[in-house]
Structure 1
Amino acid sequence: MGCVLKALLLENLHPDATKILASRGIEVVTRTGALDEDELVDTLDGVHILGIRSKTHVTQRVLEAGKDLLTLGAFCIGTNQIDLKSAAGQGVAVFNAPFSNTRSVVEIAIANIISLVRRQPVFDKDMHAGVWNKTAIGAHEIRGKTLGIIGYGNIGTQLSVLAENLGMSVIFYDISEKLALGNARRAGSLDELLSIADVVTLHVDGRPTNNGIFGAEQFAAMKPGAIFLNLARGFVVDVDALAEALKAGHIAGAAVDVFPQEPKRKGDAFTSPLQGLSNVILTPHTAGSTEEAQEAIGQFVSHKILDYLGTGSTTLSVNLPNLALATNNGAARIAYLHHNTPGVLARVNNILADHGENIEGQLLATRGELGYVVTDIGSEIEPETITALEAIEQTVRLRVLHGPQH
Structure 2
Amino acid sequence: MRVLLLESIHHDAVARLESEGYHVESVRTALDEAELIERIPGVHLLGVRSKTQVTARVLKAADSLVAIGAFCIGTDQIDLGAAASEGVTVFNAPYSNTRSVVELAIAEIIMMTRRLTEKNALMHQGVWDKSAVGAHEIRGRRLGIVGYGNIGTQLSVLAENLGMRVSFYDTDDKLALSNAHRCATLEELLESSDVVTLHVDGRPGNAGFFGAEQFKRMRPGALFLNLCRGIVVDRLALRDALVSGHLAGAAVDVFSAEPKGCGDEFISELRGLPNVILTPHIGGSTEEAQSDIGDFVANKLANFVKDGDTTLSVSPPEQPGIFMKVLPCPKRGAGPVTALRS
The TM-score, its normalising length taken from structure 2, stands at 0.93
CA shift for structure 1 position 8: 0.9
Alignment of 1:336-351 (within 5 A): none
SS in 1 for 2:139: coil
Task: Tell me, in whole angstroms, the C-alpha distance in 2 between the residues paired with 1:275 and 1:37.
Answer: 28
Do structure 1's residue 177 and structure 2's residue 176 form an aligned pair? no
- 2: distance between equivalents of 1:180 and 1:168? 15
Is the aligned partner of 1:55 residue 2:3? no
| Percent sequence identity over aligned pairs | 61
Give how far 1:371 is off: 5.0
Q: Bigger radius of gyration, 1 or 2? A: 1
Q: 2:187 aligns with which of 173, 184, 191?
A: 191
Q: CA deviation at 1:285?
A: 0.6
What does residue range 212-231 of structure 1 map to in structure 2 within 5 Å? 212-231=208-227
Mapped pair 1:373 → 2:321? yes
Q: Distance in 2 between matches of 1:35 and 1:244?
A: 33
Instruction: Report deviation, 1:306.
Output: 1.1
The equivalences for 1:273-284 within 5 A come to 273-284=269-280
Question: CA offset at residue 286 of structure 1?
Answer: 0.6
What is the identity, as a one-letter code, of the residue corresponding to 2:321? V
1:248 aligns with 2:248: no
Counterpart Cα distance in 2 of 1:34 and 1:177: 36
**Which position in structure 1 is the counterpart of 2:324?**
398
On the 8 A contact 2:148/2:169 being kept in 1, the answer is: yes
Q: How far apart, CA to CA, are the structure 2 residues paired with 1:402 and 1:278?
A: 57
1:152 maps to a residue whose letter is: Y
Q: Give me the whole-angstrom Cα distance separating, in 2, the residues matched to 1:241 and 1:251.
A: 11
Query: How far apart are residue 399 of structure 1 and its match?
Result: 4.7
Give the Cα–Cα distance (whole angstroms) in 1 for the partners of residues 222 and 52 of structure 2: 35
Q: Deviation per CA, 1:138-166, whole angstroms, max 9, x where unpaired?
A: 10000001000000000000000000000
Distance 2:269 2:65 in 1: 41
Look up the match of 1:355.
none
Q: Is 1:107 aligned to residue 103 of structure 2?
A: yes
The residue number in structure 2 matching 1:11 is: 7
How many aligned positions are there?
329
Whole-angstrom CA distance in 1 between matches of 2:198 and 2:147? 6
Give unmatched runs, 5+ long, in structure 2.
327-336
Residue 94 of structure 1 aligns to which amino acid in structure 2? Answer: V
TM-score norm. by structure 1 comes to 0.79
Secondary structure of residue in 1 paired with 2:257: coil
Residue number in structure 1 paired with 2:332: none
Q: Is the 8 A contact 1:146 1:197 kept in 2?
A: yes
2:304 is paired with a residue of what secondary structure? helix
Question: Which residue is 1:319 aligned to?
Answer: 315
Counterpart of 2:84 (choices 88, 97, 103) is 88
Partner of 1:270: 266
Q: Which residue of 2 aligns with 1:362?
A: none
Distance in 1, matches of 2:16 and 2:176, equals 38
| Aligned equivalent of 2:120 | 124
Note if 1:30 corresponds to 2:26: yes
RMSD: 1.5
1:76 deviation in Å? 1.1
Conserved 8 A contact 2:85-2:319: no
Of 291-300 and 76-85, more deviation after overlay is shown by 76-85
SS at 1:373's partner residue? coil
Q: Is the 8 A contact 1:120 1:279 kept in 2?
A: no
Output one character per residue of 1:220-266: Cα deviation in whole Å (capped at 9) or x when no partner: 10011111000010010111111111111110111000112211221
Runs (4+) off by over 2 Å: 370-374, 397-403
SS at match of 2:302: helix
**More displaced, 31-40 or 177-186?**
31-40
For structure 1, list consecutive stretches of 5 or more residues without a partner in the other structure.
321-336, 338-369, 375-396
Cα separation, partners in 2 of 1:41 and 1:271, compared to 1, 3 Å: closer
Amino acid at match of 2:16: I
Residue in structure 2 matched with residue 390 of structure 1 by the alignment: none
Equivalent residue for 1:285, pick from 276, 281, 295: 281
SS at match of 2:321: strand
Amino acid at match of 1:293: A
Cα displacement string for residues 107-130 of structure 1 (whole angstroms, at most 9, x for unaligned residues): 000000000000111111111111
Counterpart Cα distance in 2 of 1:261 and 1:9: 21
Structure 2: distance between partners of 1:399 and 1:30: 24
CA distance in 1, matches of 2:206, 2:5: 29
Offset, 1:79: 1.2
- Determine whether 1:72 maps to 2:68: yes
